Chains A and B, each alone.
Chain A
């Protein structure tokens, strides 16, 4: 059933974000083109295109967060919950569906941000008359001498970022679900719950820090990234699980749609 839920959830977020991505790409290309061709007369165009790019980028990041909250809140605790909660689907599948889809779109947003940066470069290269060759760019990248174990570090960083994003999303979901236990002023209650969760996390961090304080260094005093990475990921996964079970418990035992 999770697959079926994702089939509808992923496009539901995409229909809001995809047009924004297109606008973002267009402003990036425009910025690249104006940056290179600008002289004293057209300098204002650079300012305008830079402002446009920043405005769209900000809008997309804000929109992504709003969508994550809205999709969860409307679908599982708002009007659409009257439909979603009568589907023959477990609460765990509903929460998992929202978390997977939200995580996916966060990473798509980050990927699009990287692509827009490349687009700015491409625009600049085109105007400079140098021509752009994807093959050449890949060749250049491959010919660089990368540090040893870079691939492993990238994988570790990626796992840590994914675990951290999932934890943040589950943190938001838990706050929204707790907030909806209040019969009135649910938004205010959700913000309050979020603050309490942040305090809780900071307390957990303080308690755990002494346990891992010395594990991040090798015998010769160098920084051992892997030893920092492992506790970080474990803590994120554990907190995600705690938030997941809070949401699941409240939705199974205390769902009160009014």
Chain B
């Protein structure tokens, strides 16, 4: 049984087809790049995996379970927006994570927050956009989850922080977990990816190991992405 199974998932919003019979099996112990231009269906797929959207057809399973309380215990999700109560401080948000997630490592979260120079006593609403994103990522990556779903984790931060985030992802993820990173900033994440999924207009156009792409096609994932998604 694969850690994540996506079985011919279709999602329609009115007449718009956001996902068109997407089928994927993702095993543990890898970092997967879910790559595609804006509007290709990356966020939709991640939301379906979290149970925040319901597929029009098909289904998804994580550890053999459909999204629900059971999967939420083992999935760490970084959304593409600030979803945390913004009147709370970093310290209070850590309290919430500690209360609800058994796999949350508070010491690790505090260390990451301190490394990034985030004031633990500052309310989130007083933080800059980038700092909010960093804080959310610290909270998510401080979990010892089995699945990490990171939706545009490096989209709104400066290059130095990008490096820190990618380093954090690599150093925190364990061999028992699968990390899915959704982004269109390929060159920044390419070095950490084991597996690559290209999504184009809601369809999977490529699913291959990153090393195989480089060996077989003789080019980087970034270059291939530019060819596939050329306007």
Interface pair B72/A83, CB less than 8 Å apart:
no
Query: For the complex, would chain B's binding face be called helix, strand, loop or mixed by DSSP majority?
Result: loop
| Interface segment out of the listed A74-82, A210-218, A237-245 | A74-82
A82–B79 CA distance with the chains assembled, in angstroms = 7
Interface flags, B29-59, vs A, CB<8A=1, else 0: 0000000000000000001001111100000
Task: Count chain B CB atoms within 10 A of each CB in A81, A86, A89, A183 and give the residue with the most.
Answer: A86
A106–B84 CA distance with the chains assembled, in angstroms = 25
| Interface segment out of the listed A61-69, A115-123, A248-256 | A248-256
Q: Which residues from B are CB-within-8-Å of A83? A: 79, 83-85
Interface pair B83/A81, CB less than 8 Å apart:
yes
Residue of B47, B96, B99, B101 near A257 (CB, 8 A) is B47
**B145: shortest Cβ distance to chain A, in Å?**
11
Residue of B51, B54, B72, B83 near A79 (CB, 8 A) is B83
Q: Which residues from B are CB-within-8-Å of A258? A: 13
CB of A114 closer than 8 Å to a CB of B: no
**B25: shortest Cβ distance to chain A, in Å?**
22
Q: How large is the interface on A (under 10, 10 to 19, 20 to 34, 35 or more residues)?
A: 20 to 34
A255–B54 CA distance with the chains assembled, in angstroms = 6
Q: Which residues from A are CB-within-8-Å of B13? A: 183, 258
Interface pair A89/B84, CB less than 8 Å apart:
no
Nearest chain A residue, comparing its CB with the CB of B101: A88
Interface pair B72/A86, CB less than 8 Å apart:
yes
A89–B73 CA distance with the chains assembled, in angstroms = 9
Nearest chain A residue, comparing its CB with the CB of B84: A83
Residue of B51, B70, B81, B82 near A255 (CB, 8 A) is B51
**A100: shortest Cβ distance to chain B, in Å?**
17
Nearest chain A residue, comparing its CB with the CB of B95: A8
**B53: shortest Cβ distance to chain A, in Å?**
5
Q: Which residues from A are CB-within-8-Å of B75? A: 86
**Residues 82-117 of A at the B interface (beta carbon under 8 Å):** 82-83, 85-90
A106–B114 CA distance with the chains assembled, in angstroms = 41
Residue of A4, A80, A88, A257 near B69 (CB, 8 A) is A88
**A120: shortest Cβ distance to chain B, in Å?**
33
Interface pair A87/B50, CB less than 8 Å apart:
no
Interface pair A254/B85, CB less than 8 Å apart:
no
Interface pair B53/A255, CB less than 8 Å apart:
yes
Interface pair B53/A257, CB less than 8 Å apart:
yes
Interface pair A80/B85, CB less than 8 Å apart:
yes
CB of A12 closer than 8 Å to a CB of B: yes
**A174: shortest Cβ distance to chain B, in Å?**
19
A56–B83 CA distance with the chains assembled, in angstroms = 32
In the assembled complex, 6 residue pairs joining A and B whose CB atoms fall closer than 8 Å, in A order, are: A7-B99, A79-B82, A80-B83, A80-B84, A86-B75, A89-B100
* The 3 nearest A-B residue pairs measured at CB: A82-B83, A83-B83, A82-B79
